[in-house]
Amino acid sequence: MRDKLAQARIRERLRRVQAGNFGDCEPVGEGVIELRVHVGAGYRVYFGRHGGALVLLLSGGDKAGQSDDIRRAKEHWSNWKRRQT
């Protein structure tokens, strides 16, 4: 990603998530949550929560590739959960 402003905003959003403030996010199915970053191309970060403490980052992208990014995040989440059993 070349957009330095977008990089900074994404890092800031991830710091907020780390502090427990999830802000603008929406479940997209199968336990995957989409965190929206309103800058540039409309960046998205996908994550899952396990228990009360763990937030696992799965993938990211922008609005243009949203469907593929969600599919990929769901695959990563499913694979991670399968390895936990």
Tell me the C-alpha to C-alpha distance, in Å, between residue 28 and each of 5, 7, 11, 66: 26, 23, 22, 11
**pTM, 2 dp:** 0.87
Task: Answer yes or no: are the C-beta atoms of 85 and 71 closer than 8 Å.
Answer: no
Phi and psi based region of residue 29 (left: phi greater than 0; alpha: psi -120 to 50; beta: remaining): left
Residue 68 has what pLDDT? 95
CA atoms within 13 Å, Cβ hemisphere of 20: 2
Q: Is the pLDDT of residue 85 over 80?
A: no
pLDDT at 35: 93
Residue range 5-64, pLDDT digits in tens: 999 999 999 999 889 898 889 999 999 999 999 888 889 999 998 888 777 888 889 888
Task: For residue 64, give the DSSP letter.
Answer: G
